Amino acid sequence: MSSGKYPSITVEELYQISQNAGPFHLLDVREDDEFAEYHATISRSLPLSRLMEGRAQDELRMPKDEPVYLICRSGRRSLTACDLLHHQGFTKLVNVTGGMEAWVAAGLAHARG
């Protein structure tokens, strides 16, 4: 499945991949207050605003040739984040379709705070 120039993946497919051994990076690009409300237990917070302002160097300390999955609320901001990370040299970017709305609807593990 594809979202234009980046491949996409469903939340169910992403969860299956996360259960396998190997490098796994899921970045939640919603803002801090949204992440605190609820988030996938396997994700790390990296707000899109911080990416856009160029203040995300610490969070981006990972190999640029490993898969990076991006999730937001519904799937739009994560596409913007794909563009920004692509321009920073990341080569395996994957958009999570449906975002956290789909994640929660699928009953996948999520946390508050």
Residue whose structure tokens are 């490993």: 66
- Decide: 85 and 93 in contact? Cβ < 8 Å: yes
CA separation (Å) from 98 to 12, 89, 101?
11, 25, 6
- Which one from 42, 51, 72, 102 is the annotated catalytic residue? 72
Question: Annotated catalytic, 72?
Answer: yes
In this structure, what token pair is assigned to residue 64?
Answer: 């640029």
Q: How far apart are CA 98 and CA 113, in angstroms?
A: 21
Tell me which DSSP letter residue 57 carries: T
Q: Which residues are catalytic?
A: 72
